[in-house]
Structure 1
């Protein structure tokens, strides 16, 4: 269990990136949703001991993460949003180097660890290839391999599927799902489908605050009977946005299709639709000025 309590961070330029963030994150996949600039990466870097918080606490089981950074790093696997690699180094050699940095000093043990991880992330056949020749998805799977060195109890992945093609994205998400059966895995993303598909628990963060936390299917159920859809003309959009709480607008065949949130029938031409996590997400972003929801 990872327990985050009243975590706050303000940067030197005055931007308050985190505002009293509190979350309980059990074993398994946990989705952290939010737009760019919401505070997700600041929260991930703080948990990963890469920067200090102004106040608050982070506890992994009985370990005070912020006070015992060296021990926390031994228990942590981290795949940042920007994961650089040495392009001219072979995958097997680079992973061996990471294993040394993680304290696996015995050569035989290190060889077993490296080979096992390359097989686990389906890169065994590419072990002799230079990292500069890897596709985006292969680089992300290599990033997960280095994060798994040392059998961590907490793994953090920050925006891991951005830029991946559908096949690589599915392969990577399946790998995360397998890993998440045994440890805490925090998936920080702005891609709603990643959380819907993978995470039994999630939170939405915006402007440095937790707006909503709980089980995705429960949050979706809270919008039953309140989401309506309509195909409109482009010249109607402004008037509809002024009259209704518009959750999302998407062009389908060149025509805007809108989702609105309303407790009652919003008018001619609208039809009720089953809500999804994207409706929940956009609904919370529209309510940023409202009081912050308590973390579940």
Structure 2
């Protein structure tokens, strides 16, 4: 198809060039000695009328060719853009399948002592996973299985199984650049269950190990408009496993103080993990007494966060509103 449009472009260029040469030829013709001496006035008048008709038809034809070429070229660019988007989506899915090819079968609900990862389509599956007590893993930090938060008194939180896939798609440009992306999980309370139905991605800036939301009042306005409440947050770890850093536990403390059922979802495509966490009672107490900000260490004898056991994965849809 590209060759056809290139040919049409050459035809248009050839026509315009021919038109220019024809105009130049007529102008030179009128200045020729034989034109003024041999031809009579009547013959000159007749030739002039013929030339004018030719030029009128040529101008009409040129306008039609330009309109048609412009219209077809716009269609060609639209088709090309559509093809590029299709190829981009194919490349994205191939990357996700390659990254997450070792995932297990889908489950409807995460079970004790498990973390949640994504399958080859980006949907949640269940897989045994270990997480550190607090902060990023390092050579001298012993990892152990996270305890499961005592969910007595907590209402279930329902997550769409394609939440991971859709969020990773929105975050993919940042992920390729090794930048974190964050979003707010929103939904409603229905029949004693918190149903997550929306992810709002705010204006933000980030790097390989941080992400800072901006203009957060826009999230509140949108939630009020849609009748939603905040049920937690989600962010990517493009270069690290799925865990809560010291900054993350402080961030999630604010969510969990507002709503005990609030969850923190961390997507780590590189390590084939998506953890769903909340703070332990010990974590809530320690973070509430910690005045420090930024990356810092906490007590190594305490487990600050753990895998959630009040989360249910169901086949439902999620709407992403990207405010960036």
- Does the TM-score normalized on the shorter chain lie above 0.5? no
Q: TM-score normalised by the shorter chain: which range applies?
A: under 0.3
TM-score in terms of structure 1 length: 0.27
The structure carrying a bigger strand percent of its residues is 1
Higher RCO, Cα 8 Å, sep 6+: 1
The structure carrying a bigger helix percent of its residues is 2
